[in-house]
A and B are shown apart, each in its own frame.
Chain A
Amino acid sequence: MKCQSKHYGAGRGDILLGLFGVFLLYLLYTSGFFTAAAWQDFNRRFYQNFVKDARYMMLVDGLKSTIFMTAGATIIGVIVGLILSVIRVAYKGGVPIPVLNKFAETYITVLRGTPAMVQLLIWNFTIFASARDLNTQYIAILAFGLNSGAYVAEIFRGGIESIDAGQMEAARSLGLTYGSSMKHVILPQALRNVVPMLFNEFIALLKETSIAGYIGIDDLTRAGQNIQALTLEHSQPLVMVAIIYLVIVLLLTRFVRKLEEWLSRGRR
């Protein structure tokens, strides 16, 4: 989107940020942060938290779990969202599927109207309460995926409705069926339009999986807490976790920019 492809110069925001940074450094300096003793302490704690007993592996495994859940939920979310949005658009466009449409509407209302956290707990402790052999990660993927599907459905719907009605007419006038016209003409254009919004949804999803710890999954966030429990150290593990999330988000942002460029080929 526009805001992402803009090249920032040194604006007023940067100057304020710089002043804030200087202020922080001053605070740290006055509290003795830059003394040799402080650095030794920092290094000792770093060793305790991440190096000793290969504790960094806890973060690596947690990250694997986070990425696994996000990827799985993304796939479910896109498929569910696509189906729901096509149902709603097709019904509005005159395809006689009132029951499916009502289902889609209700689904979207309920899953968007309740916290993802509550949904996750219900999936784990109510619906799959008796399925204790099932890997909890799969339950989380299902919960996050179905939840994300409701949001993706609305994103897709907006994307489909943003396509000029004439595109559908032109496709139908050639004898293409409603389904073929959707698949070959409307959806490819809609998808191109919604890539940035979809991507934001997946970034949100990546961050949202941080509540998976509540059903006992050792994801990245929970791994940080697990280290905390071992070392009784508060700041370093969680700050490290935050940095890892941020790096991934920034990498993904970079990727989507490339994707957008590729998608907009042929456009003026």
Chain B
Amino acid sequence: MSDYIIDVKDLHKTFTLQDGRELNVLNGISTGIHKGEKIAVIGPSGSGKSTFLRCLNRMEEPTSGVITFKGEDITSPKCDINVVRRHMGMVFQHFYLFPHLTVRKNLTLAPVDLKLMTQEEADTRALELLTRVGLADKIDEWPDRLSGGQKQRVAIARAMAMNPDVLLFDEPTSALDPEMIGEVLDVMKELADDGMTMYLVTHEMGFAHQVADRVLFIDKGIISEEGTPDEVFDHPKQPRTIEFLSKVLRR
């Protein structure tokens, strides 16, 4: 029994392409995350890092392997994944705010529909969270009237509205204009400082270095190197890590 809040054992994911060929994206990943830990997942595009993240809340169905969340095997058919997902928030690259609902409703839809809160309680919580991400004045605004950075901050608040134990960030700043990245990273930094457990798939190496407790370098569907930011970013051992970092850090 490990003390990981999410424990991943020998995770494989194979996609069957339209022409029948099989694509092995994850080739046996075993890792875990402690409560309060922040793990940055880096790697070249197509390495499987997003797929890894999406397997954790079964946005993608793992082909094989076991994922345990707070002691429960969530890959078992008996597991109600909807209940698990209430405790694992996800933030997407393209925000996916619900455009037909106001910011307030975006935040309150799930807690109210799942009968976890009354509308009044959820409204109070929404205002609280929006204040935290600096968007209290946008509570009755429509998503389409917000900038990209504002949308992503609302999306983070929406994930937080479920009071999750873990937040999964899938390249949260990759779709943003450069001048808006900072405001989103600031919000994430604050969450990290408050003790949130976070998995972060990112290309923001500086931010990963600053915030992460541990860094996973995923290449060709396996964790090819892991360690503290100092170890991975400043003293990488694997040739593939050195090559990747030299490419992304050369800027």
Contacts and interface: CB of A to CB of B under 8 A. Distances in A.
Interface of A: 164, 166-167, 169-177, 180, 184-185, 188-189, 192, 266-268
Contact of B96 (A164, A175, A192): A164
Of A164, A185, A192, most B-chain CB atoms within 10 Å: A185
Interface string B119-151: 000000000000000000000001011000000
Interface stretch (B38-46, B79-87, B179-187, B237-245): B79-87
A154 B90 CA distance: 32
Contact of B90 (A167, A173, A192, A266): A173
Interface in B47-106: 57, 59, 82-86, 88-90, 92, 94, 96-100, 102
A188 B142 CA distance: 15
A188 B86 CA distance: 23
B103 to A, nearest CB: 11
Nearest to A94: B61
Contacts of A166: 92, 94, 96
6 contacts: A169-B90, A170-B92, A171-B110, A172-B85, A173-B57, A175-B85
B59 A169 contact: yes
Contact of B98 (A167, A173, A177, A192): A167
A176 B90 contact: no
Nearest to B61: A94
Contact of A174 (B85, B102, B142): B85
Interface residues of B, number: 29
Nearest to A174: B110
A174 B96 contact: no
A176 B92 contact: no
A173 B114 CA distance: 13
Contacts of A164: 94, 96
Contacts of B96: 164, 166-167, 169-170
A266 B114 CA distance: 26
Contact of B59 (A173, A180, A185, A266): A173
B92 A175 contact: no
Given A167-B96, A266-B99, A266-B100, 16 more contacts: A164-B96, A170-B97, A173-B59, A173-B85, A173-B88, A173-B159, A174-B85, A174-B158, A175-B85, A175-B162, A176-B113, A177-B82, A184-B109, A188-B100, A266-B102, A266-B142
B99 A175 contact: no
Contacts of B144: 266-268
B247 to A, nearest CB: 28
A31 to B, nearest CB: 58
A176 B145 contact: no
A184 B101 CA distance: 9
Nearest to B143: A266
B110 A176 contact: yes
Of B84, B85, B110, most A-chain CB atoms within 10 Å: B110
A188 B99 CA distance: 10
B145 A268 contact: yes
A180 B158 CA distance: 17
List the 3 shortest-distance A-B pairs measured between CB atoms, nearest first: A266-B142, A175-B86, A170-B96
Given A173-B57, A175-B82, A189 B99 contact: yes
Contacts of A192: 100
A173 B89 CA distance: 7
A184 B96 CA distance: 14
A185 B145 contact: no
Contacts of B110: 171, 174-176
Nearest to B113: A180
Of A170, A174, A177, A192, most B-chain CB atoms within 10 Å: A174
A192 B144 CA distance: 15
Contacts of A170: 90, 92, 96-98, 155
A173 B110 CA distance: 10
A63 to B, nearest CB: 36
Nearest to B155: A170
Nearest to A169: B59
A174 B159 contact: yes
Given A180-B113, A184-B113, A175 B98 contact: no
B99 A267 contact: yes
Interface in B155-193: 155, 158-159, 162
Contacts of B86: 174-175
Contacts of B162: 174-175
Nearest to A265: B142
Contact of A175 (B83, B97, B100, B102): B83
